[in-house]
């Protein structure tokens, strides 16, 4: 089989930074250490952190003392206030690109904008963004929800969860402009998401099978699987190599591999090794084609 790894796949700079900060905290802090929800949405990363003594909590109220790590997805200011009122040491690993959205919605709210936030209501990042402009934000995700968004004579702006599909954002924008002709648009889908989607789309149409490596809890991994599925019907999301099933490749030769922004490199390598084994079992010598990517850097954040 021919195995193609997309140009951009796996951990982004924001996730790398958050994991590094959490590891350093685990090494250097003395008292108990907790992380609010999941540091990043990957089960392997979360389990590894638990093995280092950093356990997830669902709410600040569960923490009686010690250090609280804020995940890469960011939180509402009220969460930080509560942590401080409990005298917790706060280590904030919020991705700078999420913090940028916090600043945008805060500035829009100060100017009394109605803010339409394209995102998943129950996602940590979306709930955190909402907390920065509580009364001004209207969260929606499905096209059918647009007719229920408020009509107003005042200014209206659109922002997005960082991990939305770029194609879907454009479709939503077209519909919104009919309802809000003066809409102010802030495309806050992050650079890492865009690069992973673009490079998956660049190969998916020529593949017999597309594999996305990432956890179900990872919004950007689910999105990668969806966008790949638009061009390649046999598109699967797997958390680890053991979930890859040999029957998916029966009569199929070209396999594309991509991975979400929270997926560590070793999980991608494990999947590639599993695909090589499956190819050998079929009696076909595998070849792996890797598209070299440039080192990613944070785009300048203002």
CA gap 70, 79 in Å, rounded: 9
44-64 burial, b at 16+ Cβ within 10 Å, e below that, comes to ebbebbeeeebebeeebeebe
> Which sign does the torsion angle of CA 162, 168, 169, 170 carry?
positive
Shortest reach from residue 175's CB to ligand SF4, in Å: 25
* Minimum CB distance to ligand SF4 smaller for 43 or for 82: 43
* Minimum CB distance to ligand SF4 smaller for 162 or for 217: 162
**Residues between 211 and 270 with contacts to ligand SF4, criterion CB under 6 A:** 220, 261
Shortest reach from residue 239's CB to ligand SF4, in Å: 18
Kindly report the number of other CB atoms within 10 A of residue 245's CB atom.
12
Shortest reach from residue 114's CB to ligand SF4, in Å: 24
Of the residues 28, 125, 247, 297, only one is catalytic, namely 125
Contact between 39 and ligand SF4 by CB under 6 A: the answer reads no
Candidates 1, 3, 9, 12; binder of ligand SF4 (CB under 6 A) is 12
Q: For the sheet with 184-185, list strands across it.
A: 137-140, 114-118, 156-160, 184-185
Contact between 101 and ligand SF4 by CB under 6 A: the answer reads no
Kindly report the number of other CB atoms within 10 A of residue 294's CB atom.
8
**Residue 125 a catalytic site member:** yes
Question: x/- contact string, 78-97, with ligand SF4 (CB under 6 A)?
Answer: -----------------x-x
Own/partner long-range contacts of 181-184 (Cβ < 8 Å, ≥24 apart):
182/155, 182/156, 183/116, 183/156, 183/157, 183/158, 184/108, 184/113, 184/155, 184/156, 184/157, 184/158
Contact between 162 and ligand SF4 by CB under 6 A: the answer reads yes
Contact between 70 and ligand SF4 by CB under 6 A: the answer reads no
The first and second tokens of residue 22, run together, are 């959490």
Contact between 98 and ligand SF4 by CB under 6 A: the answer reads yes
Candidates 3, 7, 14, 263; binder of ligand SF4 (CB under 6 A) is 14
Contact between 15 and ligand SF4 by CB under 6 A: the answer reads yes
The first and second tokens of residue 106, run together, are 């805060």
Which positions are annotated as active-site residues?
125
Site of interaction with ligand SF4 (CB under 6 A): 12-15, 72, 95, 97-98, 162-163, 190, 192-193, 220, 261
């Amino acid at each position: 089989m021919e195995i193609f790894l997309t140009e951009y796949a796996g951990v982004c700079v924001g996730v790398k930074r958050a994991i590094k900060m959490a590891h350093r905290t685990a090494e250097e802090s003395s008292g108990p250490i907790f992380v609010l929800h999941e540091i990043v949405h990957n089960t392997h990363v979360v389990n590894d952190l638990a093995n280092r003594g950093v356990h997830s909590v669902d709410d600040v109220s569960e923490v009686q003392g010690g250090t609280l790590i804020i995940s890469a997805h960011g939180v509402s200011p009220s969460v930080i206030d509560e942590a401080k009122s409990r005298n917790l040491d706060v280590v904030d690993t919020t991705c700078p690109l999420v913090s940028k959205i916090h600043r945008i919605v805060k500035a829009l709210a100060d100017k009394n904008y109605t803010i339409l936030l394209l995102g998943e209501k129950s996602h940590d990042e979306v709930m955190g963004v909402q907390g920065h402009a509580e009364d001004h934000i209207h969260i929606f995700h499905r096209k059918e929800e647009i007719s229920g968004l408020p009509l107003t004579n005042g200014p209206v702006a659109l922002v997005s969860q960082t991990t939305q599909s770029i194609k879907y954002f454009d479709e939503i924008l077209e519909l919104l402009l009919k309802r809000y002709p003066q809409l102010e648009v802030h495309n806050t889908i992050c650079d890492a998401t865009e690069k992973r989607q673009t490079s998956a789309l660049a190969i998916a149409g020529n593949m017999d099978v597309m594999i996305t490596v990432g956890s179900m809890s990872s919004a950007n991994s689910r999105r990668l699987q969806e966008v790949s599925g638009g061009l390649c019907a046999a598109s699967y999301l797997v958390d680890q190599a053991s979930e890859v099933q040999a029957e998916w490749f029966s009569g199929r030769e070209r396999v594309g591999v991509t991975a979400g922004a929270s997926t560590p490199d070793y999980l991608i390598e494990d999947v590639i090794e599993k695909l090589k084994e499956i190819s050998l079992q079929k009696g076909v010598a595998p070849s792996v084609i890797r598209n070299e990517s440039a080192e990613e850097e944070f785009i300048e954040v203002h």
